[in-house]
Amino acid sequence: MEKLLSSSRIYQGRIVGLRVDTVSTDSGRVTTREVVERPDTVAVLALDDAANVLLVKQFRYAVGRETLEIPAGTVDADETPAQAALRELREETGYGASSLDFLLEYGPAIGYCTERMTVFFARGLVPAPLPGDEEHIRLARVPFDSIHDSIVQGRQPFGDAKSTLAVMLARARGLV
């Protein structure tokens, strides 16, 4: 266990903050820890009646390319993760869901980031669009089995881990 000695906020942006903490380790050594502060997030693996996954294509500046991934976003202060998941699904795909099941909560980058992501599985999709953020998103429908087979064969169809994790959990739990 490490003991916090001091903390300094280096940067506070719209989505992330960065602080540098000075800590004392169990051995008594004094060192620093850089911590990215980020709101909690959600992701939704949404399956239509034809067993297609609703995916979003969008340019991700940090990696410099367009990615294919499941809908995701931050949890607002007045929302539960489930409420945020349904809102993000509507904003990014134009669909609501009559069924939303919890898949997993995890820390995507526990070595340096405070973010906790909750992943859901949605069915019973119905058109229910909400205006989105400034993101330019295009909707794609891809057969679940095709995505799953690609992952198992080592051909990563996604640009992120959350999408891969959601697909593998949905199959492992017999949801698809």
Q: Where are the alpha helices (DSSP H) in the chain?
A: 81-93, 144-152, 161-172
The whole model's pTM is what? Answer: 0.93
- pLDDT tens string 39-84: 999 999 999 999 999 999 999 999 999 999 999 999 999 999 999 9
Burial class (CB in 10 A: 0-12, 13-18, 19+), 61: exposed
Residues 6 or more apart whose Cβ sits within 8 Å of residue 47: 53, 54, 121, 122, 123, 125, 144, 170, 175, 176
Q: What gap in Å lies between CA 148 and CA 171, rounded to an integer? A: 8
pLDDT for res 134: 66
| In the block, residue with structure tokens 């909400």 | 130
Q: Is residue 23 within 8 Å of residue 31, measured between CB atoms?
A: yes
Residues β-bridged to residue 35: 19
The chain-wide mean pLDDT, for the chain, equals 95
Cβ(176)–Cβ(144) under 8 Å?
A: yes
* 77-124: pLDDT as tens digits: 999 999 999 999 999 999 999 999 999 999 999 999 999 999 999 999
